[in-house]
Amino acid sequence: MAVPHTVDVLVIGGGATGAGVLRDLARRGMTSLLVDREDFATGTSGRYHGLLHSGGRYVGKDKVAARECIEENRVLRRIAPASIEDTGGYFVATPDDPDDYVEAFADNCNQSGVDCDEVRVADLLAREPAINPGIRRAFRVPDGSIEPWGLIEAMVADARARGSDALTYHKVIGMEVAGGRIETVTVRDERTGSVSRVWPKFVVSAAGAWAGQIAALANVKVEMTPGKGTMLVYNYRVTDAVINRCHRSSDGDIMVPIHSVSILGTTDIKVPDPDDYDITRAEIRRLVDEGEKLFPSLREMRILRAYAGVRPLYQAPADTVAGAGNRSISRAHAILDHADQGVDNFVSIVGGKMTTHRLMAEQTVDAVAQKLGNTTACTTADEVLPGMEPGHHYWVGHRLADHEAEGGGDADLLCECELVTRRMAEAYLDTHWPCSIDDVRRGTRVGMGPCQGAFCTFRVAGLVAERLDAHTKATGRPAPGTEPGTPEEVGHAPGSGSLHAAIADRALTAFMRERAKGVRPIASGRQLQELMMTNLVFVDVLGVESLSTASALVFEDEEAVDAAR
């Protein structure tokens, strides 16, 4: 895919907001290009708890955010049905939650327009037996869960159908500012290393927590306050509905069922660099300690991995309160017109959340349209996204039912845990090649189940090698540096065997390292045993140490595993 020379708008950042902006621009007739330094949704959009907010979490402190949430909740259910599971949600008052908050909850919901019904505690406990039987009251709200990858792909597809485009693995490395405008933006293809320049009329930064870094390329100052949120993935459905604690939002107070797992969220810790943070054991302890108040058996349940995302929090310089924690920063969004810093064709959209991404995009594009003299109205709330059927929501059993309809069983399953077939993986590779196994994961959920890649990674690596071989056979030339990395980078010594195998090996070890990274902080009990078995499969059975990419040992970090014990 070539980088076009000129576009109306260049959108930086392939998260939900960036994709939403791209779609909105395209629908209003502004041909645009989106670039992301990695795959879609590799930043915050792919690393959140999966909640489609009803607004209930904000009714106590931020009624504007709450109202935006419920309105957008309704819009997304309509336009992105396949990305949403209509789980419903509950706010439950545990013995630890303050009476005044609980008393005011229903009224607060009312004032923000959030549908809220009190339900009998006994009825809820019958439906959701994992909840603390000591809860005093329970309120039902229209929470749901929303899956980012399919949603973003659908928005990009809608934009592409209108002449716009999106390029992943294209990193913005420079901007040329002249005469109070960004003249050109330089992007580098992270896989081939080739550098191109784009002349956009306008630039939108939807880089979220990274907005400060992007703005700096145009000598614009944007002070982000990235807030790290750590989440724990539980092996399966702890609950069928979203369960929140009825108190001011805090750590470890929400469980979101999404796909085949449940996610306990979250912490909120300010981090200086959105690319550099660790998940600490103290955070995990805190999550489980708090989560236990909702689910008394939580400690016995199996955690598959821990992961963290960084909230794109932004606090206008004037609003800064000394010493206030990150939870006090508004979750609302802001559109920053950088004309005030002398760059006239550049805005950044910061703050906000997945549930309101469409609204954020609409308001951003309103600002852009005004500047470009475009008067077309926004239509992103009107039409169902391509590939989705109105009213047909996601449901947890669909993959099992679909696989069953295709004949079922283990045959052709690459990933047994998440029921990913060879056909599904091939289909993803057909449309996304070249890409990494981690991209295949985002597209198909391969490697996301209890074994965390132990039994599927080598199968997917096999597909990657097959594809490289097929390319060579078909073209008579070696496949280009398809996996990120050149022959030198993958450690392929001339004459040491197939370059394709070396690339596939590298893909394998890279993926396994990424998986192991999320398992290590929580590795205990069965998941530690699983890790040991994975080690057995990869090191003792497959001899991963002897691969040409031997530097990339999967579990070299024995110390961490020991510590986890």
Partner 1 sequence: MSIADIVREATELPVSRSADECLKCNVCNTVCPVLRVTDKFPGPKYSGPQGQRFRLAHLQPIGGPGSANPPSPDASVDYCSGCGWCTTACPAGVKIAEMNNQARARLREGTRPKLRDWGLGQTDLTGTLGVAFSPIANVAMRNRPLRRAMELAIGVHHKAPVPPFAKRTFHATWKRRQAKAGTGSGKAQPGPDKAIVYFHGCSANYYEPHVAEAAVWVLRRNGFETIVPDQVCCGLPLISNGLYEDARAHACKNAKSLARYAKAGYRIIGTSTSCTHTIKAEYEEMLDMRDEDTRAISAATWDIMEFLLDLHEQGRLDTGFGRLDEDLPYHAPCQLRSHGIGLPALDLFALIPGLRARDMDHDCCGIAGTYGLKREKYDIAMAVGRPLFDKITASGATVAACDSETCRWQIEAATGVRTRHPIEILAESYRAMDRARGTAEPPGA
Measure the CA–CA gap between 537 and 544, rounded to whole angstroms: 9
Count residues near partner 1 (CB under 8 A): 44
Question: Should residue 459 be labelled a site residue for partner 1 when binding is judged by CB under 8 A?
Answer: no
- Regarding 417 and contact with partner 1 (CB under 8 A), the answer is yes
Residue in 279, 298, 420, 454 binding partner 1, rule: CB under 8 A: 454
The residues that bridge with 11 in the sheet, in sequence order, are 34, 204
Closer residue to partner 1, CB minimum distance, 96 or 395: 395
Distance from C-alpha of 109 to C-alpha of 246, rounded to nearest angstrom: 12
CA dist 262 and 260 (Å) reads 7
Stretch that binds partner 1, among 92-100, 375-383, 401-409, 436-444 (CB under 8 A): 401-409
Closer to partner 1 by Cβ: residue 8 or 418: 418
**Over the Cα atoms of the chain, what is R_g?**
24
E-strand stretches of 419-469: 420-421
Sole binder of partner 1 in the list 42, 249, 260, 348 (CB under 8 A): 260
Determine, following the binding rule CB under 8 A, whether residue 94 of this chain makes contact with partner 1.
no
Q: For residue 338, how many C-alpha atoms fall within 13 Å in the half-sphere facing its CB? A: 28
Would you count residue 388 as binding partner 1 (CB under 8 A)?
A: no
Q: From the CB of 320, what's the least distance to partner 1, in Å?
A: 43
CA distance 323 to 325: 6
Q: Which of 19, 92, 198, 238 binds partner 1 (CB under 8 A)?
A: 238
Q: Which of residues 218-237 bind partner 1 (CB under 8 A)?
A: 235-237
Which position among 325, 408, 478, 480 is part of the footprint of partner 1 (CB under 8 A)?
408
541 binds partner 1 (CB under 8 A): no
Binding test (CB under 8 A) with partner 1, winner from 265, 450, 453, 481: 450
Q: Using CB under 8 A, which of 14, 81, 229, 257 touches partner 1?
A: 257
Continuous segment of H or E residues that includes residue 510: helix 499-519
- Does residue number 54 form part of the binding site for partner 1 (CB under 8 A)? no
Query: 18, 154, 11, 187: which is closest to 82 by C-alpha?
Result: 154
Name which of 337 and 416 has its Cβ closer to partner 1. Answer: 416
The first and second tokens of residue 422, run together, are 């060879």
Q: Which is nearer to partner 1, 39 or 530 (CB)?
A: 530
What the block records as the tokens of 443 is: 């597209």
How close are the terminal C-alpha atoms of the chain, in Å? 48
**455 binds partner 1 per the rule CB under 8 A:** yes
Nearest CB to partner 1, comparing residues 101 and 236: 236
Q: Which of residues 322-341 bind partner 1 (CB under 8 A)?
A: none
Residue 404 as a binder of partner 1 (CB under 8 A): the answer is yes
Q: Give alpha helix (H) positions in 120-278.
A: 121-127, 148-160, 211-217
In Å, how far are 438, 474, 513, 527, 548 from 490, measured between CA atoms?
17, 23, 15, 30, 8
Of 89, 274, 449, 484, the one binding partner 1 (CB under 8 A) is: 449
Of the candidate spans 63-71, 202-210, 395-403, 543-551, the one that interacts with partner 1 by CB under 8 A turns out to be 395-403
466 counts as binding partner 1 under rule CB under 8 A: no
Binding partner 1 (rule: CB under 8 A), the pick from 23, 37, 338, 399 is: 399
Residue 561 interacts with partner 1 (CB under 8 A)? Answer: no
If binding is defined by CB under 8 A, does position 127 make contact with partner 1? yes
Q: Which is nearer to partner 1, 298 or 502 (CB)?
A: 298
Residues in Cβ contact with 346 at an 8 Å cutoff, skipping those fewer than 6 apart: 182, 202, 203, 204, 205, 215, 218, 220, 338
Instruction: Assess 547 for contact with partner 1 (CB under 8 A).
Output: no
- Site string (176-215) toward partner 1, x via CB under 8 A: ----------------------------------------
Minimum distance from CB of 420 to partner 1 (Å)?
12
Residue (301 or 502) nearer to partner 1, CB? 301
By the rule CB under 8 A, 463 interacts with partner 1: no
Cα dihedral sign for 35, 37, 39, 41?
negative
- Which spans in 344-412 are helix H? 357-372, 398-405
CB nearer to partner 1: give 135 or 368: 135
Q: Is 146 in the site for partner 1 (CB under 8 A)?
A: no
371 lines the binding site for partner 1 (CB under 8 A)? no
483 φ, ψ (degrees, to nearest 5): -65, 145
Q: Which of 301, 313, 365, 460 binds partner 1 (CB under 8 A)?
A: 301
Distance of alpha carbon 110 from alpha carbon 54, whole angstroms: 12
Q: What is the DSSP letter of 555?
A: T
Judged by CB, which is closer to partner 1: 127, or 432? Answer: 127
* Pairing assessment for the beta strands 137-141 and 117-119 based on DSSP bridges: antiparallel
Q: How many CB atoms lie within 10 A of CB 221?
A: 10
The CA-CA-CA angle for residues 107, 111, 117, to 5°, reads: 50
Query: How many whole angstroms from its chain centre is CA 438?
Result: 12
∠ Cα 381 31 345 (to 5°)? 95
Is residue 296 close enough to count as binding partner 1 by CB under 8 A?
no
Q: Please choose, out of 32-40, 360-368, 370-378, 443-451, the segment that lies near partner 1 by the rule CB under 8 A.
A: 443-451
Binding mask 497-536 for partner 1 (x = CB under 8 A): -----------------------------x--xx--x---
Q: Is residue 34 within 8 Å of residue 60, measured between CB atoms?
A: no
What whole-number distance in Å separates Cα of residue 355 and Cα of residue 83?
12
Q: Provide the token pair at 441.
A: 């994961």
Q: Which residues bind partner 1 (CB under 8 A)?
A: 86-88, 127-130, 235-240, 257, 260-261, 297, 300-302, 395-401, 404, 408-411, 416-417, 419, 449-451, 454-455, 526, 529-530, 533
